[in-house]
Chains A and B, each alone.
Chain A
Amino acid sequence: SYELTQPPSVSVSPGQTASITCSGDKLGDKYACWYQQRPGQSPVLVIYQDTKRPSGIPERFSGSNSGNTATLTISGTQAMDEADYYCQAWDSSTGVFGTGTKVTVL
């Protein structure tokens, strides 16, 4: 079965840039999405079709996807960005989620 692998944790200082990777076989041939999940809350879509932001998502969130890796970048990270982040793609009509990354804003 298809797997998406993320680093378990990323730490970032306020105002700095956080990058979260998502690795999967030929992931660049698929669309990647990213979800933010704050503690005790439901996931929220922050990036879709590799690079697009839904309305209401701040411009500091951006995405890319090429080769075997998709990346979510948070520029000018704020305390409110501290959360778990999950990548997601489709493989053979089945949704696949990444292993998840906890972003800590120190």
Chain B
Amino acid sequence: QVQLVQSGAEVKKPGASVKVSCKASGYTFTSYDIIWVRQATGQGLEWMGWMNANSGNTGYAQKFQGRLTMTRSTSITTAYMELSGLRSEDTAVYYCARGLAAGVGFDPWGQGTLVSVSS
């Protein structure tokens, strides 16, 4: 079955970087986008950006420009999200999801990765 499995929880200090992985299986990895969304505790879903898994082209939300990098390894069907310059406000659960065609939505989602930023 189609699934995305993310790496485990991370604890980071302010100013550090975090890299979260998203391992895809059950479909042709390069035929779809991967998107990243985060959710702080008790808050809503926040769009971070998208990556075309074939070309590697990316599009980041303005808020994260300069701090966010999305990459992938097609050989191991894994996408990565790296966020630098971490601050306490970046504490959240980070989700990857498969991006279907425009308007068709995101399905499935990974299980989420908790990133905690604390001194």
Closest to A96 in B: B47
Number of interface residues of B (CB under 8 A): 24
Chain B residues contacting A54 (CB-CB under 8 Å) are: 105, 107
Among A45, A93, A96, the residue within 8 A (CB) of B105 is A45
Q: Is the CB of B62 within 8 A of A45?
A: no
Among B61, B95, B100, B105, the residue within 8 A (CB) of A94 is B61
User: Within the complex, what minimum Cβ distance (angstroms) separates B38 from chain A?
Assistant: 11
Q: Is the CB of A43 within 8 A of B61?
A: no
Known: A31-B103, A33-B103, A95-B35. A42 touches B95 (CB 8 A): yes
Among B47, B62, B95, B110, the residue within 8 A (CB) of A95 is B47
Number of interface residues of A (CB under 8 A): 25
Bound-complex Cα distance A50 to B104 (A)? 9
Q: Is A49 an interface residue (CB 8 A)?
A: yes
Q: Is B80 an interface residue (CB 8 A)?
A: no
Bound-complex Cα distance A33 to B108 (A)? 14
User: Within the complex, what minimum Cβ distance (angstroms) separates B1 from chain A?
Assistant: 11
Q: Is B76 an interface residue (CB 8 A)?
A: no
Closest to A54 in B: B107
Residues of B whose CB lies within 8 Å of any CB of A are 35, 37, 44-47, 50, 59, 61-62, 95, 97, 100, 102-112
